[in-house]
Amino acid sequence: QVQLVESGGGLVQTGGSLRLSCAVSGHMFSSYYMAWFRQAPGKEREFLATITPRGLSTFYADSVRGRATIARDNAKNTVSLRMSNLNLEDTAVYYCAARSDGRYDDVSSYVYWGQGTQVTVSS
């Protein structure tokens, strides 16, 4: 069984930055594609970024490209998301997720999810 636990959320001012972490327990972490999603109130869960199993490639949603960086440490079983220049629209619950295959931006491709961490951006 794979368990994911996010941390690092909180209250951030507009224009600020944050770093979210996701600790993954269980075996075969280095075989999974990892990703970050977010969900704002009343909206669908939105893909943000993904990273391949060995960390050689990354892909980003248009909404965060250029101000987000996803990274992983397979020795520590962790994946992180750094975001800068935050705005009010970045307020959401942020989730990390793991998949073995499927489309990287499709929620249904991901079999393991964390419980989420709240990020609130204030002016």
Residue 26 pLDDT greater than 90, yes or no: no
Q: How confident is the model at residue 25 (pLDDT cuts 50, 70, 90)?
A: very high
Q: How many residues does the chain have?
A: 123
- Degrees to nearest 5, angle at CA 50 with 66 and 95: 100
pLDDT (tens digit per residue) in 44-66: 999 999 999 999 999 999 999 99
Q: What is the DSSP string of 20-89?
A: EEEEEESS-GGGSEEEEEEE-TTS--EEEEEE-TTS--EEE-TTTTTTEEEEEETTTTEEEEEE-S--GG
* pLDDT attached to residue 97: 98
Q: Which residues pair with 3 in a beta bridge?
A: 25
